[in-house]
Chain A
Amino acid sequence: MIQPAQPELVTVFIDGQEIAVPKGTNVIEAARMVGTDVPHYCYHPKLSIAGNCRMCLIELGMPMTDRATREPIMDEATGKQKINWIPRPQIGCGTTVAPGMHVKTQSPMVKECREGVMEFLLINHPLDCPICDQAGECKLQEQATGYGRGYSRFIEQKNVKPKRTRLGPRVTLDDERCVLCSRCIRFTQEVAKDDVLGFVDRGSYSTLTCYPGKELENNYSLNTVDICPVGALTSTDFRFKMRVWFLKQTNSICPESSVGVNTVVWSREGVIYRITPRRNDEVNDTWMPDSGRVLYKEVQAENRLQPTGDPASDLLATATRLLQGGAVAVVGSGRSSLEEQFLTAKLARQLHAATFVVGRTGAGDGILISADRNPNTRGALVTGLISEVPGDLAALGREIDAGKVKTVVSVGEDLSAAGLTAEQLAKVAIVYLGSHANATSAAAQVVFPTLTVFEKSGSFINQQFRLQKFASAVPGLTGATDDRVVLDQLVTAVGGESAGSDLVSVWRELAAGIPGLADLTYAKIPDTGLLLADDTWSQLTFPEGESLHHQPAAAETTA
């Protein structure tokens, strides 16, 4: 756990309140630190400054000094240095703090500026909030309420712009709602590196559009929807599905790859409607790939494993009989949570079984999708499930062919997809724990339907060895059981000792059994994750390349 270097601090006065902020902070962020909201549209902490919305206008002043002598000029009445207020309002986003700087965020001039800007933004805005999906999380709504004048003086005709434009496969654009903040343009230029968006036409008729013949189709296109302060850019998938104020937010981790993108799962009454990124400056800033946002669809996928109708005790009895037959191999998963991997390892120890984990790699995009598509490979190492970077199941296949393995326990892994042939599968008895049907579940003697990542709680360790937790967003499928519970039952059934399958109990065991996790509990893991020491595995070569906020260790040694 490395402490960041202490930044140089600058003392500024915001509405008279003194605060020391890191050098280079802008006024909006400085005001945020004293709990003052400076409204803004175009400013985004992770994008370059455009300064074009003019909503964050503030009054700025510097202590007065005599020009000739550089002596401070004192105010006789208060005994303090006089402040030289700049007569014109300044933008908060583009103004970085300077020592002694004074800022007024609530003065009459600032209020009047905000009212003016709000009025201007609203005159050509369609005001179709009842239809607009952004309603409820719309900056224009919020700031019209907070800073607007409350009535309209505009009786002319509003501008007409294209509506319901397909900007890309996942993004729909309503230009009339656009406030031309240019966040999306800057995002595609600076983060997605896919410079396809831009404005055409002039003045109030300016229109956001895509470069002719191109589409906004990069894998980060939906981030433009997230950062759009109004409802101009909307997700085609989420469009007109549900008002956001009905949705419950649950913190989660994207299981797409080992980046461990922090997410928020939005659900209502057990149905997930969308997934959005959650800000974590150490992992994903405020972004996430589009491909991770559709993963919620697996919760209600057609091939979800349904309970067979056999009593759970029968399943357990059959599984126990198979496991007690000996010659067992356990295939754990890099997609299982840390807790599940721990219990898998415990089961394997109890059975004296060999353990395997299926490696899963793909091309990394250098941003938020890494080459290792297992979200929790590091967890398998930390829990001792495996000691090497996982590869394929060739070794297991050889053992099956040699007849050394009679029974295979698979925790959510499709063995045939991982390289075992149908003949090999036919030779062994399979106990399968999984959420979706596949060739392995079809071949398995015992199938325990389990939960998807959105229905259960747990934690992953990402490529940075950052321990991050996710919580269950929706109730599990009826009849499906949490993996932890099934694994714990199996451990007990084959003669092991159970400390309980709930998170608190499992973590008590984890903290006791794994040195790196000593003194930790599930509740103690911060929302932004906890960086673990990775010295033990520094000699291993992981498949990940460079991505946002992650430099692979190997790259450092070669460089």
Chain B
Amino acid sequence: MPAPAERRIIFKHIDEEGYSNDLACYQKHGGYQVLQKALTARPEDIREDVKKSGLRGRGGAGFSCGLKWSFVDRKSGKPIYLVVNADESEPGTFKDRYIIHQDPHQLIEGTMISCFANDVKQAYIYIRGEFPEGARILERAIQEARDAGFVGRNICGTDYSCDIFVHRGAGAYICGEETGLIESLEGKRANPRIKPPYFPAVLGLYQCPTIVNNVETLCHVKHILDMGPDEYLKIGTPNNTGTRIFCVSGHVKKPGYYEYACGEITMGQLLYDVCGGPREGREFKAVIPGGSSAKILRFGETFTLKNQDGSERVLKVEDIPLDFDTLAACGTMGGSGGVIVMDDSVNMVEALANINAFYAHESCGQCTPCREGSLWMKKISSRMVHGEAREEDGELIKSVADQIAGRTICAFGEACSWPTQSFVLKFGDEFKAYNEDKKTKSADRLELV
């Protein structure tokens, strides 16, 4: 079955010739009209529309955006903040960067609509420290929008005022975790907070109710209001509405970003038809479907899933439709949409060593299992690729990962242990057989930490 055509909503104009990221260009393409329309509506109605649209967060967890908004404590009398999570650091993910670089006003418009919907007077865009260019673009775009009356005092002539500030992170993966991000925004170490009691919707930024949304999610808000929730619901499959941007990287002929309706395209179609398949003389070996912290899928494995009517179906990796629920049912996750492809030239132990090095470097060091476990996993896998592998190391590293997942303050515990768990589970033979003559030159490059 050939792949369906791309359905670009967010990236509609991005690759268009002559499309620039200034306000004029954006307005020429219909920019800020949705905001103007939204300002005439009641905030509750907008919230209801978003809830109805079934929009799920695009940052990784896939949590319902409408539900998240509904948790916000609106009775406390404290100001409500909206924070845009532009700390896109998940290895394999590069969608937000393109939105910010190519179409910042889309983000600003989505943010302003969300602010209005939630009665937010102040919004922050927390952008990754390594995106200086993105920050500059955003600053400029916000200034443009502010000058044009889309941001700041009395937006579009209404009595609604809300300003947006860009905050550059100091360069840590953990700042992408929402409470860590809030701490960082407050000027502290980005140590995630314990939940309970520090749910952002109740005790967030400066102990006030706070909404933290991903860049792509907020962009979708604009389109929901643009096309109406019912129309939006038609895109994708039930419960997995809207489009998704897939950031394909790795061993395919045509890596890049592709936007498809949720669940309309399968892994096989994406990799073979859209991305041109494996490199010459190679075969696909494994794919990580949702950023490096998602569990890996091994080509050749099959999944038995239950249909809604109770019957069962068997899926190969190539057959998995790329939506939130099916991927979760296959034991992995859609995550941030970073599809990392590995062909048979990849040694899985070395790949894991690389991933572990990343997570050991990025653990904030607050809570014990992740702090100690991530570095230990890195030390084990690093030792393995340095020619000191033992047969029991695979089991050991997996049991270390088992001791982390589910026992930490934030989701980083899972993020750092899922790769190890799935790598060892699915490529256990490679871990057993890995011995010292496999020591490669790449080992020296693994000195990341």
Contacts and interface: CB of A to CB of B under 8 A. Distances in A.
A binds B: yes
B409 interface: yes
A113 B380 CA distance: 21
Contacts of B369: 54, 116-117, 120
Contact of A180 (B197, B360, B371): B371
Contacts of B363: 202-204
A388 B362 CA distance: 65
Contacts of B427: none
Given A94-B197, A119-B403, A52 B368 contact: yes
Nearest to A204: B375
Interface in B361-378: 361-369, 371-376
B438 interface: no
A205 B366 CA distance: 11
Nearest to A158: B379
A153 B194 contact: no
B365 A156 contact: no
Contacts, number: 101
A54 B365 contact: no
Contact of A156 (B197, B379, B409): B379
Given A49-B194, A202-B362, A203-B363, A54 B408 contact: yes
Nearest to A113: B407
Interface in A158-199: 159, 179-180, 198-199
A29 to B, nearest CB: 16
Interface string B419-448: 000000000000000000000000000000
A529 B196 CA distance: 37
Nearest to A157: B379
Contact of A89 (B197, B374, B406): B406
B396 interface: yes
A88 B411 CA distance: 12
A206 interface: yes
A57 interface: yes
B85 to A, nearest CB: 20
A95 B196 CA distance: 7
A53 interface: yes
A206 B409 CA distance: 17
Contacts of B374: 203-204
Interface residues of B, number: 33
A71 interface: no
A55 interface: yes
A107 to B, nearest CB: 14
A53 B372 CA distance: 11
A437 interface: no
B368 A117 contact: yes
Interface string A35-56: 0000000000000011111110
B101 interface: no
Nearest to A115: B403
B365 A120 contact: no
Interface string A103-119: 00000000011001101
B372 A51 contact: no
B82 interface: no
A156 B388 CA distance: 10
Interface string B332-364: 000000000000000000000000000011111
A328 B191 CA distance: 69
A120 B373 contact: yes
B367 A124 contact: no
A308 B315 CA distance: 99
- Counting chain B CB atoms within 10 Å of each CB, the highest count among A89, A121, A179, A205 belongs to A205
B383 interface: yes
A204 B365 contact: yes
B318 to A, nearest CB: 32
Contacts of B375: 124, 159, 203-205
B86 interface: no
A50 B365 CA distance: 13
Contacts of A203: 360-365, 371, 374-375
Contact of B367 (A51, A154, A157, A201): A51
B348 to A, nearest CB: 20
A153 B409 CA distance: 25
A202 B368 contact: no
B172 interface: yes
A57 B365 contact: no
Given A51-B194, A157-B379, A179 B365 contact: no
A54 B194 contact: no
Interface string B384-404: 000000000000100000111
Contact of B372 (A88, A94, A198, A204): A204
B285 interface: no
Contacts of B396: 153
Nearest to B189: A199
A199 B365 contact: yes
Contacts of B360: 203-204
A206 B365 CA distance: 6
Contacts of B409: 51-52, 54
B399 to A, nearest CB: 8
Contact of A202 (B197, B361, B379, B402): B361
9 contacts: A49-B194, A52-B409, A120-B369, A123-B376, A124-B372, A179-B368, A199-B365, A203-B375, A204-B372
Which A-B residue pairs are the 3 nearest by beta carbons?
A: A116-B403, A206-B365, A120-B372
